Structure 1
Amino acid sequence: MKKRNETAAAVARTHVSTARARPLRCKLVIALAGACSAMSGAHACAQASDGALPEIVVSGQGESDLKKTSTAGGRLPLTPLEVPASVAVISGDTIRERGYPTLLDAQTRAPGISSVPFSGNGNNSLSARGFYGPNSISQLYDGLQLYNAGGVVTFPFDPWNVERVEFLNGPASVLYGTGFVGGAVNVVPKKPDVSKQSNEVQLSAGSFGTWRQAIDSTGPLNDQWAYRINASHTNSDGWMDRGRNDSLTVSAALAWQATKELSFTLSNDYGDIHPGSYEGTPIANGSVIESLRYRNFNVDDADVRFTENRTYLRMRYQATPDVVFNNDVYLIKHERRYKETYTYTYNPATRNVVRSNYRDIIGYQTQYGDHGYATINGELFGRKNQLVAGFDFNRSLYDRNDNTNASGNFPGSSTVSAFNFTPGVFAQGTNASIRYLYRVTLDQAGLFLQDRYQLSDRWAVSGGVRGDNYQTRRDDMQNGSSASGNVNAMSWNAGVVFNPVRDTALYAQYAVASDPATSLASISASQMQYAVSKGKQVELGVKQSLWDGKLDWTLAAYRIIKSNLLTPNINNSSLSDTVGQQSSRGLEASIVFKPVRDWRIEANASILQAQFDDFVASVSGKPTSLRGYRPQFVPKRTANLFLAWNFQPQWEARTGAHYVSDRYSDNTDQSRLPAYTVLDAGLAWRATERLRVDFRIDNLTDRIYAASTYAGTATQWILGAPRSYTLTMNYAF
């Protein structure tokens, strides 16, 4: 206990020293970027003296996205036309050029993906195909997953170091293990460039005192060594009262080509984010009180912070032209800090707000492991066959410190005036002290196979199988007790792709996957009795590229059934209820159309019906069947539209629309979040080949909308940001 207290004190000292270091860090980045800006000015003047600017097209036609290889569908490098599943890829360049400030903003532009942001899940949770949360739609970084503890996922969050984001809608447990019934999102970072030297800086200024600085540098050091290092820093006063937030990411990688066949890459990624203390706006009669839109009801000394550091050593060995071995050894350290009150209830009679759930949490997580696989390309009966065989071994240690009472709730409350608001401080609401509660140790071991066989010129079949074992141990630091659990999970899939004509694919797939009943990395002793939740999916679809890549379109239909799962208790979200069965069925469609050289049109949409098939819950003290009810945070429809027009050689105008239908924040379908459509627009000027200037407007119509609620709380909405303006300069050298 003394050691833990010393550790907490050290963390506090680190927090202070980091805060003091930020102004110096910002000045260094700004100075570097300013120097580059001066160089760009000189370069532009030189061009002006020589003649007109060269013609530079901001958005070219390019190759069809359906014919670009990626690992979205597995560890085999396949194109979307070759994968019997719904896959999508958004490049990092596209994310940055469109000005999405966070990865979450970019991810929700993919087909069928919506977000459920609140600080309790790291502001980073997703909903897809009728299922919500990191235990059903897991997120990975370069193919590796940090097992979420308490449903919190915080990294990565910044798009600066992103090469691409890969989406696999539907079960992905064969690839990554349990926790992927709804889908998988894999963020692939930039790698060292072994062929040429390149550097880039970015400076950005926006509404609400928002500033951003970023730098990226990569290139070869000699014939065997190459490097990449990048950093980005964003700080803002926030759009709400006392909304100051701050984030920093630093990544570095060193690649060594030891021999022609053998290479190593050592990389480290660090993220530190202070997301601010806004936890929502109280509502009255199911709507926002507009005069309270910008009010932050948290205490004045609230502190929310997430840090994460990931270190990887990667090896690639080309044993023969057709056999490649890959191995990753890694260490991840994650820390979270909450000290705040996060539940707000408005009383119309008194015009006061009751604040409750005064929480004080420090969580430490360490995960390390080894992930390896072999890719074997060959022939079987004279036809092409691609095989992947691999393993995963991981250990996670999670230490939890908090101020919960004997019932597992956060004590404390206060009453404040809604309209003559004084925030107060944390100590005025509770005197409950933080304690070292427990440690959860999670050991995972898994084996997997994936194979694709070309039956004929038009037919291909693929399949995979994976088995995982999860052993958990929870040590209670208050009473000295321990509990252990052992869970096995088996997943498999089989699919077929038929190409009736060139660049057209019809496919079908059947998949069996699993989700953990709860977050295994922070599982309670009572939850260890539950096995994994089984999920089954049938999917049919078509993908087609026409007119030399000018038109790409996809359509998928699916049905998923998931059994024996846990969901938050209706009366107490810290408890769980057992659901016998939950199901969803729906359609997802996407289109990319480039009618002429200077136009690009993208659109996608999803329609789904999700419901509980077998769920009896206690509602108002009575057992009530919720059969047919829609699960929380699941929209029936989502849609996205994007238009870009190069109206002059160096100019691009763009606009976009993001639509999410109504959702419910509870499983009884009583607390409804209205549908919303958010519009944005932008204008980009390629001043020179090296200098790009971009102006972006988010939430063009200043729409007031509920992006989420806090963990299903019915008394407050977490509002989306109001209209904002951002000016960004990128300079490459």
Structure 2
Amino acid sequence: MTTLGLAGSPDALAQQGATEAEAVAAQSGSSADRKAGMASVPPGKGKQEAESAARRKTRREMITVRGERGSYAATDSSMGDKRSTPFLEQTQTTNVVTHQTIVDFAPQTIEDMAKYVPGMVVGNNFGGTQDSLIKRGFGSNDDGSILRDGVRMPIGRNYQGDTTERVEVLKGPASLFYGMQEPGGVINVVTKAPDFHRFSANFGTQWSSLGGGQGHLDFTGPLGKDFAFRLIGGFRNENYWRNFGANKQVLVAPTLNWRHDRWDGALSYEFVDYHNVLDRGAVFVGNNPVSGPQKRLDEAWTASFGARHLIASHLGYRLGAHDRLRLAGGYNRDDYHDRQADPSSYNPRTGILMRRYRANSGTLRANGSVALDYIGTHELWRMKHEITAGVDYENRNQDQGAFYQSANQGGFYPSKPVYGGLAPTGRLNPASSNLQQNINNASGYLKDNIHLTKTLIASGGVRYQWFALRYGSGIPFVETTKASHTKPLPFAALVWQPFKSVSFYGDYSQSFGANLLSAGTVLQGGYKPTTGREFELGARYENHGLTADVALYHIRKKNVLQAAGLDGNGNMIQRLTGLAGSKGLEASLTGALTRHWSAILSYAWTDARTLRDTPETEGHQLIGVPKNSGSLFLTWNGALPWYKIAMRAGGGVQLVGTRAATLNNSFQVPGYGTVDAFASWTVPKLFSRQVSLQLNAVNLLNQGYIITPTGSAFRNSWGQGRSFAVATNIAF
């Protein structure tokens, strides 16, 4: 089914993932902005001098923003207001993984962003095949919190390093602008935009110590005066880090942007054909896994595979110097299949693991969105008002298709695995097939940031949210849930900036959404939507390329969908707990320490618990949430004395504490620490081309650890072992 729904990322959406420089150029270069720039010139100056002042202003803004592209610090973000907002004036906590961070540390999935953002850890990612991030204690692999240029993405892997400019994370309930969300936060992947100014191209390869590698091509440039294009292509065939398997992918991503007078628009498409390892991970007895990370418990045929399509577009019109309209929308579709060697039971006395073949065939996951926004800035009673108002509509659809399953089969010893004993054949399971879940929602929203004085901003807003859900499964199909709900969601915040480099803020926000059930799960008990609210207090610092913030928050969430073990058929049981809560402290510091040294520092203390439920679970920690987590990365950059070679080198450690592995905390998985490092060299002119070489090391000390528990003694994911990658890039 074709779907339409939530769109409306930030200004980053308006430029389809434009870089900061291109976003400023697009806005500052319009006729309305030029008029605004001339109007600010004192009376008595001529037209020529006014235009010169406007050009100087535009150049100054562009130079400032372009400098940020090489920094770990972001001095603005569009997540909280759908417009570029300075760091010290933002009304909620926002963390940005900048372009330079992505270039240096070469993250492979969206889950790697947890290394650089406080209060985020990896959740149940279905054997390493789905994005899953827990933010401030809440989140799952189907919580709808991953956006691409403002378009909500389906389950699966939705981050591509070749196409990504930066990643923005808005903490706390984000339902005001982004609809049905978890109260922990929302993540927007901002993609690279075409270059209107010059033609350029680069070709890069990356070779892995595990075997195989990947490559990419990136072309961009103007097409006449009003158009610009970008075409990115990528190919990957890389061995998996455990004893067998490979990840394969083909990527094609064209983008066309358009600007004329007061109009701007963009149309982008991305196609990904993928075949990835599905690793069921570790089986636990008590607090210990029955085997180590070296040998898998799967078979060579286990995999997830399919094709993803994403179309995103926007059309903007500037009404005047201070008002603009934007119509944005997108559609994505994932045609998905998988094959699993699923562990079902383990006998500690005999050492035998029972497994069975399971497979989802013909699964369709599709989301779509359309949103119309008004964004204006006006002065009333000597107070500046930054107004964002709009309406949106979204449809989310999941159709599982056929589900196959074999009988349980023994004869497999995790301590000495012998593969090939389990065949990839099974019978159709009518009861678990044909899962259909469809959600429609529509909303209207309004937010006004009122600059009461030069140092004080009061912000208020409200969203009125409606959604209808239809859920059922089976052959023949049986509808088990049909419901619709509405709710107003208020927002309030206050920002005080007593000094040039320091601000304080506080906010109150709410979340509201449907509880989404994943394929291969059953719901225990009745269905209800989930609601949440958060109070937050924080402080920020920004000065000379260095940003820092600290935040205290308190979240309450009703009707929390939790994993509660396996049923007799091996399906994951999910049920709603009455009330869960999360409170904590987060702190981060990013940017330049000196001329040559930069840092990324993050820390989070998170107390996330079930507050009201059955006696067996009440008061226990939520699954997968560590009380303490943090990271420290340092980077040196400078010039070598030979051939004007620029060098960057850095590394650091991520630390994650002990986490509860089940809803009743019957066992825990231990904490871990991993060390990553990189070094890169760039020659500006080698045979008239810029050439770079980069070496990355992941988990340098080869720490064996569980990256995420799943709510069961089975299917707990191992974190990646040590690997090295050598990358080359030639810019034309």
TM-score relative to the length of structure 2: 0.83
Of stretches 474-483 and 343-352 in structure 1, the one that deviates more from structure 2 is 474-483
How far 1:117 sits from its partner (Å)? 4.9
Q: Distance in 1 between matches of 2:518 and 2:376?
A: 33
Q: What corresponds to 2:731 in structure 1?
A: 732
Of stretches 370-379 and 305-314 in structure 1, the one that deviates more from structure 2 is 305-314
Find the residue that maps to 1:307 and give its secondary structure: strand
Q: What corresponds to 2:187 in structure 1?
A: 185
Q: What corresponds to 2:580 in structure 1?
A: 582
Q: Distance in 1 between matches of 2:158 and 2:715?
A: 27
* Mapped pair 1:553 → 2:548: yes
Q: What corresponds to 2:402 in structure 1?
A: 402
Of stretches 514-523 and 685-694 in structure 1, the one that deviates more from structure 2 is 514-523
* Mapped pair 1:250 → 2:244: no
Preserved contact between residue 692 and residue 729 of structure 1 (Cα < 8 Å): yes
Q: Distance in 1 between matches of 2:472 and 2:619?
A: 39
Of stretches 221-230 and 531-540 in structure 1, the one that deviates more from structure 2 is 531-540
| CA gap 1:429/1:479 in 2 versus in 1, 3 angstroms | closer
Residues 471-523 of structure 1: CA distance to partner in whole angstroms, max 9, x if unpaired? Answer: 22346562354453212233221000001111211111111222423349999
How far 1:239 sits from its partner (Å)? 1.9
Alignment gaps of 5+ in structure 1: 1-58, 617-623
* Mapped pair 1:267 → 2:268: yes
Aligned AA for 1:335? D
* Mapped pair 1:78 → 2:93: no
Residues 221-266 of structure 1: CA distance to partner in whole angstroms, max 9, x if unpaired? Answer: 1002110110222211212222212123221111223x31112211
Find the residue that maps to 2:176 and give its secondary structure: helix
Q: Distance in 2 between matches of 1:586 and 1:475?
A: 38
Match runs of 1:493-512 below 5 Å: 493-512=491-510
Q: Distance in 1 between matches of 2:716 and 2:437?
A: 32
Preserved contact between residue 132 and residue 634 of structure 1 (Cα < 8 Å): no
| CA gap 1:570/1:416 in 2 versus in 1, 3 angstroms | closer
Aligned AA for 2:636? W
Q: What corresponds to 1:703 in structure 2?
A: 703
Q: Distance in 2 between matches of 1:300 and 1:335?
A: 22
Q: What corresponds to 2:125 in structure 1?
A: 118
Q: What corresponds to 2:672 in structure 1?
A: 676
Q: What corresponds to 2:655 in structure 1?
A: 659
Q: Distance in 2 between matches of 1:288 and 1:520?
A: 26
Find the residue that maps to 1:569 and give its secondary structure: strand
Residues 65-107 of structure 1: CA distance to partner in whole angstroms, max 9, x if unpaired? Answer: 7773321223122022111211111123420222223332134
Match runs of 1:340-379 below 5 Å: 340-343=340-343, 345-356=345-356, 358-379=358-379
Q: What corresponds to 1:491 in structure 2?
A: 489
Preserved contact between residue 172 and residue 184 of structure 2 (Cα < 8 Å): yes
Preserved contact between residue 360 and residue 400 of structure 2 (Cα < 8 Å): no
How far 1:567 sits from its partner (Å)? 1.8
Q: What corresponds to 2:301 in structure 1?
A: 301
* Mapped pair 1:636 → 2:627: yes
Residues 440-477 of structure 1: CA distance to partner in whole angstroms, max 9, x if unpaired? Answer: 33222111112111000110011221122112234656
Preserved contact between residue 247 and residue 272 of structure 1 (Cα < 8 Å): yes
Alignment gaps of 5+ in structure 2: 1-65, 641-645
Preserved contact between residue 210 and residue 238 of structure 1 (Cα < 8 Å): no
Q: What corresponds to 2:287 in structure 1?
A: 286
* Mapped pair 1:646 → 2:653: no
| CA gap 1:524/1:724 in 2 versus in 1, 3 angstroms | closer
* Mapped pair 1:530 → 2:527: yes
Residues 302-355 of structure 1: CA distance to partner in whole angstroms, max 9, x if unpaired? Answer: 231243211123101112121111112322111221222222654343232222
Q: Identity of counterpart residues, as a percentage?
A: 23
Q: Distance in 2 between matches of 1:309 and 1:637?
A: 38
TM-score relative to the length of structure 1: 0.83
Q: What corresponds to 1:694 in structure 2?
A: 694
Aligned AA for 2:294? Y
Q: Distance in 1 between matches of 2:170 and 2:176?
A: 12
Q: What corresponds to 1:98 in structure 2?
A: 105
Q: Distance in 2 between matches of 1:113 and 1:119?
A: 18
Q: Which one of 448, 452, 466 corresponds to residue 451 of structure 1?
A: 448
Of stretches 441-450 and 209-218 in structure 1, the one that deviates more from structure 2 is 441-450
Residues 653-708 of structure 1: CA distance to partner in whole angstroms, max 9, x if unpaired? Answer: 21111111111221111221110000011111112251111111111111111112
Aligned AA for 2:460? G
Find the residue that maps to 1:159 and give its secondary structure: coil
Aligned AA for 1:686? T
**Aligned alpha-carbon RMSD (Å):** 2.8
Preserved contact between residue 228 and residue 256 of structure 2 (Cα < 8 Å): yes
Q: What corresponds to 2:21 in structure 1?
A: none
Of stretches 461-470 and 363-372 in structure 1, the one that deviates more from structure 2 is 363-372
Q: Distance in 2 between matches of 1:178 and 1:520?
A: 16
Q: Distance in 1 between matches of 2:127 and 2:489?
A: 30
Q: What corresponds to 1:203 in structure 2?
A: 205
| CA gap 1:439/1:577 in 2 versus in 1, 3 angstroms | closer
Residues 32-82 of structure 1: CA distance to partner in whole angstroms, max 9, x if unpaired? Answer: xxxxxxxxxxxxxxxxxxxxxxxxxxx989898777332122312202211
Q: Which one of 589, 610, 613 corresponds to residue 612 of structure 1?
A: 610
Q: Which one of 529, 539, 563 corresponds to residue 568 of structure 1?
A: 563
